[in-house]
Amino acid sequence: MKGPKDYLKLEYFAYIIFKAMAEREKDASRRKVLEQLKEKEYEHYEFWRGYTKITEVPQVSSFGVHIRVIIAAILGLTFTLKLLERFESDVVEGYQQLVGTIDKKYKAGLEAILKDEMEHESFFLSQIGEGRLRYMSFIVLGLADAIVEISGVHAGFLGVTSSTLIAGVAGLVVGFAAAISMASAAYLQSKQETGKPSVPAAVSTGVAYIIAVVLLALPYFITDNMPYAFGSSIVIAIFLVAGFTFYGAVINDTKFSRDFFQAVALTIGTAIATYFFGLLVGQYFGIQSLI
């Protein structure tokens, strides 16, 4: 269980992170929000410094700070802050337990910090407007659709042929056509939502789809063992599912495990169904004997 000295370090670490992000943020409104969060975290640090009587400044891992700044640059500020907020949930629980036992002269200060953690930071997060979130949703859409569809294509060919090359090429061809289709749908969807067609939305969806297609098809060009290639492709699919599901869970404040298992179940269920369909088609038309 964490104690006051741990909270001192955590609040100072959060202060350094927000400070680093604020210094690198170019957008004035988002930089203002980060400055406010930085000030709040420093106030919390000052409280714990007064409580613990520790005057020495805590050592902060520059690597840990840089990693979070990089994550913010790639996946967005909103995602990074919400992720930090998730990791702080146990800190909030610790503060709640400590409120009932802390000395009375510090109780009001701790209650104010607890209120900040539960209300103010969420308010600040709501003030961050990131256009990239909209495009990230199109990226996730492209990945999700590609994983289900291409895994199904590969599973179908598992029941039709023992040639990994044919299955891999089929996945690429179907994936390329589907990427164009998905990009077009994203373009039209964006036009309906905003009144203006969005090329970035279409490109985001299409590129994400193509990347997923290539990754899922890769094992089929590395080995000539069909079950091994299919198994490897499914493992890649599960990792991709974990990635976009975790991102969505953080952004939307939903439960990762539930969404992850639903997505995996959908992917595997589709693969099983298309495998038996491919097996049936292959046997009916005698395709396996021709390849």
The pLDDT value recorded for residue 210 is 93
The pLDDT value recorded for residue 129 is 59
DSSP 110-121: HHHHHHIIIIIH
Joined together, the tokens standing for residue 132 give 């990239």
**Domain ranges, ordered by start, for the chain:** 4-126, 132-285
Q: What is the CATH number of domain 4-126?
A: 1.20.1260.10
| Residues 6+ away with beta carbon under 8 Å from 149 | 174, 175, 178, 270
pLDDT along the chain (291 residues), means of 10: 85 92 87 89 93 89 89 83 76 82 86 80 62 71 86 84 87 91 81 67 87 93 91 92 89 85 89 84 64 51
The pLDDT value recorded for residue 127 is 59
The pLDDT value recorded for residue 1 is 61
Dihedral sign, Cα of residue 223, residue 229, residue 233, residue 236: negative
The pLDDT value recorded for residue 289 is 47
What angle separates helix 164-194 from helix 199-222, to the nearest 10 degrees? Answer: 170
This prediction has a pTM of 0.79
Specify whether the backbone of 253 is left (phi greater than 0), alpha (psi in -120 to 50) or beta. Answer: left
